[in-house]
Structure 1
Amino acid sequence: MAKQLDLEEQEQLDELKHFWREYGNLITWALIAVFGAIAAWNGWQYWQNSQAAQASAMYDEIERAVQAGDTDRLERAFSDLKERFGRTTYAQQAGLLAATTLQAKGKADAAKATLAWVAEKSPDEGYQALARLRLAGVMLEAKAYDDALKQLAGNFPPEFAPLAADRRGDVLSLQGKKAEARAEYEKAYKAFDERSDYRRLIEVKLGALGVDAKQLAAPGTAAGAKS
């Protein structure tokens, strides 16, 4: 009986050796690939967390410069942040924050350059849209109307489209193009929720152009449903 068991064990061992000769290398490389992927993922996560922590610290420095009103320090800190961590959310937020302070301190060119960087380099379309809208506003104040319209041209994410239409209306109105301005304001008015405070602001602008905004068909009304 013992010899029979020994023979069975020997057969199983021989089968295992045969199996390993056939598939051992494949299994080994598969395990290396799996554990290598896990190690790479952990390394990537660590690197990402490290990058975020460093970018956060630099963003804090920018906030302190903003609070102090120190534009030289602000520009240096933002330059470092965008150079080292330009793809992070912190860099996009810092650009928008820095531009506000730079414009308030009379550094319109620096504010424009900062907003242009966010509009061009941000991987997030929301930050791109905000930067374009604010850049158009800076250009509007400088009476660079054609440049402002260039920033407002093209597509915007749906949630920003009414704001872009309103801003185009402002530019066109200042250019004396009343009919075109009215069309943009009407577009913005219809897109905003009827409870929005911003909608009431556009209503005032339309009123200045002789338009009774309350007569316009808004989304969800019977007139809008027929179309």
Structure 2
Amino acid sequence: MAYDLEEQEQLDTLKAWWAKYGNAATWVVVAGLAAYSGWTGWNYYQRTQAAEASALYDELRNAVGKDNAKVQRAAADIESRYGRTLYAELGALTAAKAAFEAKDNKAAKAQLQWVIEHGSDEYKAMAKVRLAGVLLDEKAYDEALKTLSGDMPAQFAASVNDRRGDILAAQQKLAEARTAYQAALDKTDKKSPARQLIELKFEAVGGVLPEEKPAA
């Protein structure tokens, strides 16, 4: 079919533009397609990783209380293969608890240390508090206090000070323990179930609780 004059002019303009910019435009399109392909591929990879890690985590949880060695193997497997997923952090914390209950402090400390080195801020803080508790049981007081040093998320202030109080009380540093427990109470909601235990420990090291005002 023959082109009319207007169509021919448009075609000539397009040819001229393509001669000048066509190569660059091709690369822009190719780059865009590559970026889209990479994005969809990355999303698929992440979904696959999460699904596989979830299956391993279910195996780990099913072994808790039955086979500590299997729990530790599953946790190590998740950490090595799916270390960037949330399941690695959850698995390590679960494995640490299982190891501690099985009186395997070495494994418990190793799992908690993994979370401290690789986890998100919240899970790192949780792991530090728990590791300090394991070290307290081992009477490694200085190391336990060192574990609790440094910046922590604000929501862990009560837990950190409570654990610090436990360590200082075990060292018979009662004045410092009172200060730590008081700081924990200051950050604990009055309706929290944990508050009563902190109050008992605070009084045990010589702390005096304020008298409750009678309801009007």
TM-score by length of 2: 0.91
Look up the match of 1:184. Answer: 180
RMSD after superposition: 1.8
How big is each residue's C-alpha offset from its partner over 1:81-123, in whole Å with a ceiling of 9 and x where there is no partner? 211112211111011111111111111111111111111121x
Deviates further, 172-181 or 197-206 = 197-206
Structure 2 residue runs without a partner (length 5+): 212-216
Look up the match of 1:220. Answer: none
Q: Is the 8 A contact 2:169 2:205 kept in 1?
A: no
Q: CA deviation at 1:7?
A: 2.4
How big is each residue's C-alpha offset from its partner over 1:146-175, in whole Å with a ceiling of 9 and x where there is no partner? 111111111111011211011101100110
Residues 1:115 and 2:112 are matched in the alignment = yes
Residues of 2 paired with 1:22 and 1:173: CA distance?
80
Look up the match of 2:64. Answer: 66
Look up the match of 2:42. Answer: 44
Letter matched to residue 150 of structure 1: K
Look up the match of 1:150. Answer: 146
Percent of counterpart pairs with the same letter?
A: 48
Look up the match of 2:214. Answer: none
Letter matched to residue 85 of structure 1: Y
Look up the match of 2:208. Answer: 212
Look up the match of 1:26. Answer: 24
Letter matched to residue 76 of structure 1: R
How big is each residue's C-alpha offset from its partner over 1:20-59, in whole Å with a ceiling of 9 and x where there is no partner? 1122122211111111111110000111111111111111
Find the partner of 1:87 among 75, 84, 88: 84
How big is each residue's C-alpha offset from its partner over 1:61-88, in whole Å with a ceiling of 9 and x where there is no partner? 1112214x21222222222221111221
Indicate the SS of the match to 1:106: coil
Q: Is the 8 A contact 2:158 2:183 kept in 1?
A: yes
Deviates further, 137-146 or 163-172 = 137-146
Q: CA deviation at 1:197?
A: 2.1
How big is each residue's C-alpha offset from its partner over 1:198-226, in whole Å with a ceiling of 9 and x where there is no partner? 223222222223322336xxxxxxxxxxx
Residues of 2 paired with 1:91 and 1:166: CA distance?
27
TM-score by length of 1: 0.87
Q: CA deviation at 1:9?
A: 2.3
Letter matched to residue 30 of structure 2: I
Find the partner of 2:100 among 88, 99, 103: 103
Residues of 2 paired with 1:174 and 1:139: CA distance?
12
